[in-house]
């Protein structure tokens, strides 16, 4: 089985982490955990994007050297990984020597294959997006020019530059999208990319002679390699180099704002270098606050650490993946986070577990008997829902997958209520209790664990069902948020 390489974008170190970054990391982590639990060989990687004019400028403003600046902010992102319960196998920084070696090798490969040439360039440059736009891709408002796609300010920049022969790959790209219809997800995004490529590509400027903070162009150190090529190549670095890259199935999870870099430029570079193309690129939507994209520059960043301090990581992870379909935009509403968590986790699976464990203690004791019987028909139905959830998760449909799990919990809860194991009239109390515990265990350990790993650990500790296993006194797996 080919190993899967699941990646987040690497985050710019000019911005402290906020909910948007946490979202990409949490979703990628959930997918990686899901595939690992299915027995797949998975490398899950995240990290920081540390070169380029934006970081250089931020460091200058802060009065420190770029590397010192990058060290500090990269550390914030590394801490965020732990705080959001993500468990990456690698955390890459583009300032690491292992990465520079890969970028240089990739560059040389492109030169050898005739895809890079030297020329002069003039274009509308956006510092925020670290990319050039053509005039048609910009608009003038009140005397200021903006990139239409991202709304960021652009300035006219002219310099001599190395170019990547993107235009020559237009047909190859279109053939590739055609032959791989599920490569770009969701499919609406695919159509956008295909029309962009069809509308005509121009060669890409891939070096800057005005930015010193970067990896020098081999043989011409007046230039640094364009930060996006540097950044995209991180995926090869975490795979272990160009040869190892060819052995993995890469799945890139990115925000919709950077889809073009991945689905067009990255794919073109890989085709040009004769390297394997990723198996999928999934573009998720934006979290907004009252309709505006959340971000530091917009001044509406939501502090994810504070949210975790107030509500716990399970609530944050669950809400982000449950509230909106992965791929769509959604407004972040704190009250909804509390409501979703309380209704579906605290009062749902958490409460059912609590009631069941309490009754086990009352009727059976604190150890699992030598022999237990369960109602197989109930567990079969629960198993069907968990299987459906797996199908959704494998297609990054987290919201639908979680809905299946919620249905499975509701079904188990109805069975429990109908059998009323607290009443003397219930004739098969142990069967009902162990069936309910088995169902909860299955839903949690095989379904919910990739989304809410901490809470599921607490469930697992109370649902060990082998003979003589201790059943601890009930503890809330998902404590209710009281406001």
Residues that bind ligand MSP (CB under 6 A): 9-12, 15, 20-21, 23-24, 49, 231-232, 234, 254-255, 257-258, 286-287, 293-295
- Residue nearer to ligand MSP on the CB measure, 73 or 440: 73
Closest separation in Å from C-beta 135 to ligand MSP: 24
* Strand spans (E) along 165-255: 184-185, 204-205, 207-208, 216-217, 220-225, 248-255
Closest separation in Å from C-beta 293 to ligand MSP: 5
Residue 220 φ/ψ, nearest 5 degrees: -155, 80
Closest separation in Å from C-beta 17 to ligand MSP: 8
Radius of gyration in angstroms for the set of CA atoms belonging to the chain, rounded to a whole number? 25
- Residue nearer to ligand MSP on the CB measure, 293 or 442: 293
The DSSP call for residue 107 is H
- Residue nearer to ligand MSP on the CB measure, 295 or 455: 295
- Residue nearer to ligand MSP on the CB measure, 304 or 382: 304
Distance CA 461, CA 445 (A): 11
The DSSP call for residue 23 is H
- Residue nearer to ligand MSP on the CB measure, 259 or 443: 259
Closest separation in Å from C-beta 49 to ligand MSP: 4
Closest separation in Å from C-beta 294 to ligand MSP: 4
- Residue nearer to ligand MSP on the CB measure, 162 or 287: 287
Among candidate residues 450, 463, 259, the one with its CA nearest the CA of residue 350: 463
Cis previous bond, 186, omega within 30: yes
Closest separation in Å from C-beta 276 to ligand MSP: 17
- Residue nearer to ligand MSP on the CB measure, 259 or 374: 259
Closest separation in Å from C-beta 396 to ligand MSP: 14
Shortest Cβ contact with ligand MSP: which residue? 255
Q: Structure tokens of 162?
A: 């190395």
Cis previous bond, 258, omega within 30: no
Give the total residue count for the chain: 483
Any idea of the CA torsion for 336, 339, 344, 350, to the nearest 10 degrees?
140
Could you report how far apart the first and last alpha carbons of the chain are, in Å? 48
Helices assigned H by DSSP within 43-116 = 53-62, 66-83, 97-112
- Residue nearer to ligand MSP on the CB measure, 248 or 353: 248
Closest separation in Å from C-beta 19 to ligand MSP: 7
Could you tell me the CA-to-CA distances from 475 to 350, 371, 455, 471, 482 in Å, in that order?
Answer: 9, 25, 11, 11, 17
């Amino acid at each position: 089985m080919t190993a899967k390489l699941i990646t987040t974008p690497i985050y710019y170190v000019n911005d402290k982490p906020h909910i948007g970054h946490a979202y990409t990391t949490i979703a990628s982590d959930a997918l990686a955990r899901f595939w690992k639990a299915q027995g797949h060989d998975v490398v899950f990687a995240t990290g920081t994007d540390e070169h380029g004019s934006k970081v250089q400028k931020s460091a200058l403003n802060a009065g420190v050297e770029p590397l010192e600046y990058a060290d500090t902010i990269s550390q914030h992102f590394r801490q965020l990984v732990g705080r959001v319960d993500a468990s990456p196998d690698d955390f890459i920084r583009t300032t690491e020597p292992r990465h520079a070696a890969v970028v240089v090798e990739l560059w040389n490969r492109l030169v050898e294959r005739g895809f890079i040439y030297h020329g002069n360039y003039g274009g509308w440059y956006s510092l925020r997006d670290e990319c050039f736009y053509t005039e048609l891709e910009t608009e003038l408002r009140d005397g200021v020019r903006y990139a239409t796609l991202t709304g960021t300010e652009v300035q006219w920049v002219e310099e001599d530059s190395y170019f990547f022969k993107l235009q020559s790959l237009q047909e190859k790209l279109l053939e590739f999208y055609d032959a791989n219809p599920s490569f770009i997800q969701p499919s609406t995004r695919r159509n956008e990319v295909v029309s962009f490529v069809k509308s005509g590509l121009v060669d890409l400027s891939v070096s800057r002679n005005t930015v010193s903070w970067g990896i020098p162009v081999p043989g011409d150190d007046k230039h640094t390699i364009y930060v996006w090529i540097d950044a995209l190549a991180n995926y090869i670095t975490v795979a272990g180099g160009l040869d190892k890259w060819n052995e993995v199935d890469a799945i890139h999870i990115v925000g919709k704002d950077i889809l073009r870099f991945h689905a067009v430029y990255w794919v073109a570079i890989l085709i040009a270098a004769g390297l394997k193309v990723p198996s999928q690129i999934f573009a998720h939507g934006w979290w907004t606050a009252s309709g505006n994209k959340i971000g530091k520059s917009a001044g509406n960043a939501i502090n994810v650490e504070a949210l975790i301090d107030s509500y716990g990581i399970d609530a944050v992870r669950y809400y982000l993946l449950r509230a909106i379909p992965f791929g769509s935009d959604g407004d972040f509403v704190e009250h909804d986070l509390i409501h979703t968590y309380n209704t579906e986790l605290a009062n749902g699976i958490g409460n059912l577990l609590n009631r069941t464990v309490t009754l086990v203690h009352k009727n059976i004791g604190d150890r699992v008997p030598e022999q237990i019987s369960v109602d197989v028909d109930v567990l079969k139905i629960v198993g069907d829902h968990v299987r459906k959830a797996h199908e959704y998760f494998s297609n990054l449909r987290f919201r639908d997958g979680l809905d299946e799990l919620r249905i499975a919990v509701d079904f188990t809860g109805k069975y429990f209520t109908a059998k009323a194991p607290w009443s003397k009239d219930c004739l098969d109390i142990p069967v009902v209790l162990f069936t309910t515990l088995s169902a909860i265990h299955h839903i949690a350990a095989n379904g919910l664990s990739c989304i809410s790993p901490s809470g599921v650990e607490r469930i697992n500790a109370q649902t060990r069902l082998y003979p003589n296993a201790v059943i601890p006194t009930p503890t809330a797996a998902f404590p209710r948020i009281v406001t």
